[in-house]
Chain A
Amino acid sequence: MPQPTLMKRAIAELIGTFVLVFLGTGSVVTSVVFFGGVESAGLLLIGLSFGFAVMIMIYAFGHISGTHINPAVSIALWATGRFPSKDLMAYIVAQLIGAVAASLVIVAIVGTRAVDAGLGHTMPGDGVNYWQAILIEAVTTFFLVLVIWGAAVDKRASAGFAGLAIGLVVTADIIVTGPIAGASMNPARTFGPLLTETFWGTTSGWEKFPIYIIGPIVGGLLAAFVYDYVAGLKSGGDES
């Protein structure tokens, strides 16, 4: 495949630098604004936990189902013609069921203390409005899907490293933006705790659920189409 045009290489550089500065300086902002500069160790562990989970499942089931484990990823693959329409609904339903099942198992193990602690649901932080929450979910999912495309969908990527790269971007997204809106990036990940909480009588989170549908899907779609354009995947990359 010939070298992409200068315009496309420039856009790739712009996005790469944007991600670097956003996550790099953003982690400082988050620590200061939300933690007063300290107490972020827990956020690191949460971010690593999600990142490890994504990574190990990609290596475990990537060759089986494709390990989307995220409706936003399935929809982005479908929208770019890489995933059949007939499979889409089944994947999404399976993802939602898996998420709810996980939350139920947590309650079964920890008891109602887990429900009282919120079951790890995602909510906008203090001072973060609805639209800001949608925006941050879109931005973080943009990063996630961009890395999936660059590290896995694009066959020029180094083989075997996709899981590591994707796990790390999930970790970085959560460390930096977790306090802002929960860093869900995944409608299923938010749906599981939310529905499980409802079983135990807590119904207050549903009005925020559209944040975690709209943001991830919009961000994922945008990333997929931007990467396809920049990398020339859909056009063959032979423009000059």
Chain B
Amino acid sequence: MQCYVCAQSGVETVAVGVCIVCGMGLCKDHAIREDVELWEGGYPFPSTKAKKKLPRILCAECAEVLT
């Protein structure tokens, strides 16, 4: 798979990730990693933030919409 963003400007770059929202192939320069915090527990225990975060790869367009 090639990077969709690079392909739009006529450059062929190998994709290293896929946007989790739209499925767009993304190279290292265009992939945006936004880690998601996880919460554990809940009633009848207080929720606690998990030590590890969930990795999430987004393209620039989806990242803008989601943030």
Point out residues on A near B: beta carbons under 8 Å. 58, 62-68, 73, 77, 82-83, 148, 152-153, 162-163
* Across-interface contacts of A83 in B (CB, < 8 A): 45
Task: List which B24-67 residues lie within 8 A (CB) of chain A.
Answer: 39, 41-47
Q: How far is the CA of A162 from the CA of B22 in the complex (A)?
A: 35
* Across-interface contacts of A66 in B (CB, < 8 A): 43-46
Shortest distance between the CB of B53 and any CB in chain A (Å): 18
Q: Is the CB of A73 within 8 A of B41?
A: no
* Across-interface contacts of B43 in A (CB, < 8 A): 58, 62-63, 66-67, 152, 162-163
* Across-interface contacts of A82 in B (CB, < 8 A): 45
CB closest chain-A residue, reference B48 = A63
Shortest distance between the CB of A96 and any CB in chain B (Å): 19
Number of interface residues, chain B, beta carbon within 8 A: 8
Q: Is the CB of A152 within 8 A of B47?
A: no
Q: Is the CB of A64 within 8 A of B44?
A: no
Shortest distance between the CB of B40 and any CB in chain A (Å): 10
Shortest distance between the CB of A189 and any CB in chain B (Å): 17
Q: How far is the CA of A31 from the CA of B4 in the complex (A)?
A: 72
Q: How far is the CA of A68 from the CA of B42 in the complex (A)?
A: 12
**5 more CB-based (< 8 A) A-B contacts, given A63-B41, A66-B44:** A62-B42, A63-B46, A67-B43, A83-B45, A163-B43
Shortest distance between the CB of B45 and any CB in chain A (Å): 5
Q: Which has the most chain A C-beta neighbours within 10 Å: B39, B42, B43, B46?
A: B43
Shortest distance between the CB of B19 and any CB in chain A (Å): 28
- What are 15 of the A-B contact pairs (CB < 8 Å)? A58-B43, A62-B42, A63-B42, A63-B43, A63-B47, A64-B46, A64-B47, A66-B43, A66-B44, A73-B44, A77-B44, A148-B44, A152-B43, A153-B44, A162-B43
* Across-interface contacts of A152 in B (CB, < 8 A): 43-44
